[in-house]
Amino acid sequence: MRLYDRTYASRLMLGTALYPSPAIMREAVRASGSALVTVSLRREQSAGAGTGAPGFWSEIRDLGVEFLPNTAGCHTAREAVTTARMARELLGTNLVKLEVIADDDTLAPDVFGLVEAARTLVDDGFDVLPYTTEDLGTAERLLEAGCRVLMPWGAPIGSGLGLNNRYGLRSLRERLPDVPMIVDAGLGRPSHAADAMELGFDGVLLNTAVASAGDPVRMAAAFRQAVEAGRAAFEAGAMEPRDMAAPSSPLLGRAALA
């Protein structure tokens, strides 16, 4: 998977929140095979603040993965830009997952604020991965703003609904075949991830489906297998569905009764 000038061995990106314990989170990341994990700047700031307790980075810095800071929870372009700049100063990376949230109930992207923030950050030297919808018009404006990767949602964050608008995602993928795209949010089962990969998306990003599972480590491994299987199916050329049955056994040479 290639994002901007970076290449990753895994097409599965994993979040680092909501796990039962730091130890389980570390094991889940290892089981997933992820080379890129998302982290929240707010979380690191609050970890052990003023207490001398170990911070978040001390829990995951030995995993050998790259960190993708995000602007989760930001509701305005200005807030998202400020958070991204703080993350770059802290982590020393220009890569950022850009979120500008419109509504607290659905956590849907604010596409107007998103485009505004993306343009500012690109001009400031960031490599922006925008969390967006499957809307083609929004995608084109993000590309015009300088984004070279898109992250359309599958469903509302944490919902586990899978691909809510499969037609819209398929259309977006077909209209912009050369743009790297990651399906982000709403995936609840490994089959959802495989479905996204079979449509030709370059990767998936998820958190809740693994972190809230009864066995997060085993679920992380299951998602890893699903992503690999879905990508292999896409590259192999999966058959298209038919409206009518088609015999799989040849009719030529069939026995006939006189």
DSSP reduced 3-state for 1: coil
Distance of CA 97 to the CA centre of its chain: 9
The annotated binding site for 1-deoxy-D-xylulose 5-phosphate is made up of 158, 185-186, 207-208
Secondary structure of 58-95 in the HEC alphabet? HHHHHHCCEEEEECCCCCCHHHHHHHHHHHHHHHCCCE
Rounded-to-integer distance, Cα 209 and Cα 223, Å: 9
The annotated binding site is made up of 158, 185-186, 207-208
Q: Distances from the Cα of 18 to the Cαs of 39, 138, 198, 235, in angstroms?
A: 12, 30, 28, 34
Angle of the 111-123 helix axis to the 77-91 helix axis, nearest 10: 40
- Give yes or no for a contact between 95 and 144, defined as CB atoms under 8 angstroms apart: no
As a whole number of Å, the CA-based R_g of the chain is 20
Pick the catalytic residue: 11, 97, 119, 141? 97
139 is catalytic: no
**In the structure encoding, which two tokens stand for residue 142, read together?**
């993000």
Q: Which residues are designated catalytic?
A: 97
